[in-house]
Amino acid sequence: MEPTQWSPYGPPAGPSAVWAVLLWCVAGVSLIGSLIFGGIAYAGYWSNSYLDSYGVTTTATVTDVAAFTDTVTVEFTSDGGTPVSAEIVWFTGNNPDVGDQVEITYDPSDPSYAIEAGSDSEIIMALVFIVGAFLGLVVMVGAVIGAVIVHRRRGKAARQRTAW
């Protein structure tokens, strides 16, 4: 058995309980953040799958372009003959001009929800959020391991104090 390092004032007290509490809080916040990011990723993936399966592709006319936000406003006629206006975040980088004809895919149950035809923007965003969720889980595991180590060191320090 190794000799303990004693100080003239008694055995070491071990890490502060504040560290354990902080690490458990970090673990909890990381878990909640990972669940939120995972939910957003699932919603993006589901949205893309839904539009691939049930979306209607049509030609729309660009009525407004907001260059700063890459938002394009389009007008088109739905399958039911109703005129519809929709805002689309244009991910391709080269925004169309006002008056251009563009291909879009819209949700037949809510025609105001539309995306650029053939766009995988929801999948890309889902991947970004999955990576964020994974990193949150890595932080959570690290915080849990750190909290357990702090608890064990505090317990060891308490046992040494009683033996002193």
* CATH number for 137: 2.40.50.140
For 66, the domain range is 19-159
Helical ranges in the chain per DSSP H: 17-54, 121-163
Q: Give, for 117, the enclosing helix (H) or strand (E).
A: none
pLDDT at 10: 59
Residue 9 included in any domain: no
Residue 73 corresponds to which tokens in the numbers above?
Answer: 């406003």
Euclidean distance between CA atoms 101 and 128, whole angstroms: 30
Digitized pLDDT (tens) for each residue of the chain, 164 residues in all? 455 555 566 555 667 788 889 999 999 999 999 999 999 999 888 887 888 888 899 999 999 988 777 789 999 998 888 899 999 887 766 778 888 899 999 988 888 888 888 777 778 888 999 999 999 999 999 999 999 998 888 777 666 666 55
Residue 75 included in any domain: yes
> Structurally, how many domains does the chain consist of?
1
* pTM recorded for the entire structure: 0.67
Residue 12 included in any domain: no
Residue 72 included in any domain: yes
Euclidean distance between CA atoms 154 and 23, whole angstroms: 14
pLDDT at 1: 47
Residue 85 corresponds to which tokens in the numbers above?
Answer: 């206006």
Euclidean distance between CA atoms 102 and 58, whole angstroms: 8
Residue 70 included in any domain: yes
pLDDT at 11: 56
How many CB atoms within 10 Å of residue 105?
Answer: 19
